[in-house]
Amino acid sequence: MEKRRISFDLLVFDTLDELSQGEKDLMQIAIEARKNAYAPYSQFMVGAAVLLANGEIVIGSNQENASFPSGLCAERVAVFQAGAKYPNVAIDSIAISVSSKTHKVDRPAAPCGNCRQAIAEYEQKQNTPITILMMGVSGKIFKCESLEDILPLAFGNSYL
């Protein structure tokens, strides 16, 4: 038997001002996208902004549905929209901002498992990493250099 450790480096910023101007702008767009969330059941709003290699930015917000699990997370709304609108353009980065109507969110929330798998598909397809920025309403901002960081051993088409 062999025991292996899987780990990654996470960049942690205290404020938006520590990000590059481009990253700060992308996060501001994610914050604005969060306002479009339809979250009457969870009261948890998520906004995502996807920066493409051609400079275009595509947004998404979570869209809930009374018939669980028919809703869709902000990250997948944005990534799938980018894939539909710009099918051959690589995704450079994704900014994710979260808030709640019931409590103060003072830390980042990482994409759920379904979103991680969906983003992994695009990262594998384009064969380049997708940077992920995450933040709550306040508190630290997390940055991962690749989706692979937060989904090691991802399932992909090489298994099929």
Contacts of 97 (CB under 8 A, 6+ apart): 27, 30, 31, 33, 34, 46, 47, 48, 134, 135, 136, 137
Residues pairing with 49 in the sheet: 59, 95
Is 148 one of the catalytic residues?
no
Residue-wise pLDDT for 33-56, tens only, equals: 999 999 999 999 999 999 999 999
> CB of 108 within 8 A of CB of 134?
yes
Grade residue 69 by pLDDT with cuts at 50, 70 and 90: confident
pLDDT of res. 143: 98
Q: Which of 23, 64, 75, 148 is catalytic?
A: 75
State the average pLDDT over residues 95-117.
96
pLDDT of res. 72: 95
- Around Cβ 145, how many Cβ atoms within 10 Å? 15
Grade residue 120 by pLDDT with cuts at 50, 70 and 90: very high
